[in-house]
Amino acid sequence: MADGRSAIETIEKERPLAIDTVTLNIVHNALTNIASEMALVMLKTSYSTIFNEGLDFTTVLLDRHGDLIAEKNYTPSMMGAIPHTVKWAVEEKGIDHFHPGDVLVHNDCYRGGCHLPEHMMMRPMFVKDRLVGFAGNIGHIAEIGGKAPGSFASDATDIYQEGLRLPPVKLIDRGEYVEDVWRIVLANHRTPHNTWGDFHAMIGSLETAERRMGELAERYDLALIERATAELMDYSERRLRAEIRELPDGEYSASMLVEDDGVTADPFEVKVTIVIRGDEIIADFTGSSPQVRGPMNCTVVVVASAIYNAVFSVTDPHSTIPRNSGCYRPVKFIAPAGSVVNVVHPGPCVGGNTDLQPKLIDLLLKAFSQAVPERIAAASGGSSSNFLFGGIHPVTGTYYTNYHFDGHGTGGTIQKDGNNGEITRHSNCRNTPVEVFEGRYPFLNIEYRLMPDSGGAGEHRGGLATTRTLEVTADEITLSCLFDRAKIPGWGLFNGKSGGLSQLLVKRAGDDQFRTFVAAFNTVSPTKFTNVLLKRGDVVRYVTPGGGGYGDPLRRDPAAVLADVRNGWVSVAAARRDYGVAVMEQNGDLTIDDAATAVLRTV
């Protein structure tokens, strides 16, 4: 060559150097810290309890192609939306649509959204006028209009009854508010003050991301950051494929009935076949029921979230693999359009995200249990136990709404009992403290505790459900609920027993007993209804569903049964009936009657 260099020397000079492991880890940690700071901003600056107490949101960073590079995933139910929603918006609007200072919002279920309350916001991140990626978040906005306060119409028959649907539109254009869009949104939400605050919390997290990304680009060359994120995605893909190769190849099928859709009393069926083939997994929902009239349908990204949740639970339960788009490459699924697992317009779907998705995870794990029984939990309670209400606050005189949920029991495993009072596995949210709940809303908490005998019996017991009793302290409260597993319980595994059923009861002022809402208000479903009017002095009591047991209850250590009885988690009668353990009182304490137990366990 003219400059004296060989062709090999030229190639070596131009080839990018491999990024060393230390630098790769530094970039990965820097990106995940940015996503975590985004979440902290949302937590600290939001207005509604579903954000600052429940943590029902997720924050992410994506590269300029829309691929996920980092996340703070408070709510796993959104993990399937993240890889798709931003790309969907970019493809629809075109990359030239985005400018510095823009913020785009959308919640359209048919454009990659979860359900209408969950709004995605995205902001293009520019460094020195160069688009380097997108900051994004998804958050559950507690009130978005529709036929029911709290925007959870359990008897909705189309999407238009569920709230305001936004296609991808700009809230902020080149740093300036798009006032007409803001006016439309705030005019259609019953609690615009909270929406304004939560929207700005989301916007603030996006601004934080772009600022921190600029700071990272000052420390490391942008080309290096882009190479690092690409290598991290390839690394995550390799890691997950390696984990999948450890699973036995085969086809594993499972099915379940869901008790009703909120509009009719008829159950519907979901079927799945999991195909494990080498280093990839396919989940096929062919044969599932057509989409239902009520709001228990799932959007396609909700089904994706359930699949990813189940796969990660089986292959990487401790989250050692970096969560980015590389994790999703080995996992594929089939969800027929127009079925209950892939709703099409104008089908409603608000309950599919909250109450069908957790059962889909349980169903997928049930199929996986045929391949790797030692890695699988029995069915969880499987319902978010959605409790929504609103009205005129007796103290402030202003309109309020609230979306409340409570914990249920999770399923037992080969190693341990299920967890008590845990919010659904797909949401991972926190409950709202009683002090906060009573301070903001006109309900008096009379009782809040774990429900005895609600965990399915097993060698490892299912987790206990919770029960709460509330008295109305306003003249009127409009209540809507969407609970499930009131008729069909969560299953046990390997001779474990089913978990306890959910229950929703009301005692009207002047009445002396609790009644079902079917008896008191003539609702179609005992736990799914919309706009029931409660009066001052009415008392509502509900029980969430319990988790299923794992293994034969007669194999449970009698000492563990005795401990449960002493804790008030299992009754003396249930210890005898379900576990074959006779518990008696002796010298003011509870103890095991060894002789009677031996007889019970040999019958």
Summarize pLDDT for 64-103 with one digit per residue, the tens.
999 999 998 777 777 778 778 888 899 999 999 999 999 9
Which of 532, 549, 566 finishes a domain? 549
Is 497 within the bounds of a domain?
A: yes
Are 562 and 428 found together in one domain?
Answer: no
Residue 276 counted as domain residue: no
* CB 114, CB 85: distance < 8 Å: no
Same domain? 429 vs 536: yes
pLDDT at 88: 87
Burial class from Cβ neighbours inside 10 Å (0-12, 13-18, 19+) for residue 295 reads buried
Beta strands in 114-230 (DSSP E): 118-127, 130-140, 169-173, 176-177
Would you state the pLDDT for residue 140? 92
Sequence-separated (6 or more) residues with CB below 8 Å from residue 261: 268, 292, 293, 294, 295, 296, 528
* Number of domains observed in the structure of the chain: 3
Containing H/E element for 111?
none
Residue 157 lies in a domain: yes
Query: For residue 346, is it within any domain?
Result: no
pTM passes above 0.85: yes
Q: Is residue 347 situated within a structural domain?
A: no
Could you tell me if 117 and 163 are in contact, meaning their C-beta atoms sit under 8 angstroms apart? yes
Same domain assignment for residues 541 and 425: yes
Burial pattern 499-515, b for ≥16 Cβ within 10 A else e, equals bbbbbbbbbbeeeeebe
Alpha carbon distance 66, 90 (integer Å): 8
Of 237, 266, 297, the last residue of a domain is 237
- Please tell me whether residues 449 and 496 are part of one structural domain: yes
> Whole-angstrom Cα distance, residue 366 to residue 233?
29
DSSP-derived letter for residue 88 is H
**Inside any domain, residue 246:** no
pLDDT of residue 428: 66
Side-chain half-sphere CA neighbours of 265 within 13 A: 7
| Contact indicator for 383, 355 with CB cutoff of 8 Å | yes
Same domain, 491 and 574: no
Structural domain includes residue 305: no
201 and 109 in one domain? yes
507 and 586 assigned to the same domain: no
In a shared domain, residues 26 and 165: yes
Q: Which pLDDT score, from 0 to 100, does residue 291 have?
A: 98
Q: In this structure, what DSSP letter does residue 375 have?
A: G
Report the DSSP pairing between strands 443-450 and 280-284. unpaired
Residues 157 and 230 occupy one common structural domain: yes
In a domain, 413, yes or no: yes
Torsion of CA 129, 134, 138, 142, to 10 degrees: 10
Do residues 75 and 196 both lie within one domain? yes
Q: What is the pLDDT of residue 4?
A: 44
C-alpha closest to that of 473 among 415, 515, 536: 536
In whole numbers, what is the pLDDT of the chain averaged over residues?
Answer: 93
* Ranges under pLDDT 70 in the chain: 1-17, 427-428
Of 237, 269, 300, the residue at which a domain comes to its end is: 237
Residues 406 and 442 in one domain: yes
Q: Are 142 and 150 contacting, i.e. CB atoms less than 8 angstroms apart?
A: yes
According to the model, what pLDDT value does residue 405 have?
Answer: 86
Q: Would you state the structure tokens that stand for residue 331, as one six-digit string?
A: 């996992």
The range of the structural domain enclosing residue 581 comes to 558-600
User: Residue 101 sits in a domain of what CATH number?
Assistant: 3.30.450
Return the C-alpha torsion angle 29, 30, 32, 36, nearest 10: 120
Beta bridge partner(s), residue 579: none
Residue-level pLDDT at 15 = 41
Q: Are residues 491 and 587 in the same domain?
A: no
Residue 330 near residue 389 (C-beta atoms within 8 A): no
- Cβ–Cβ under 8 Å, residues 338 and 331: no
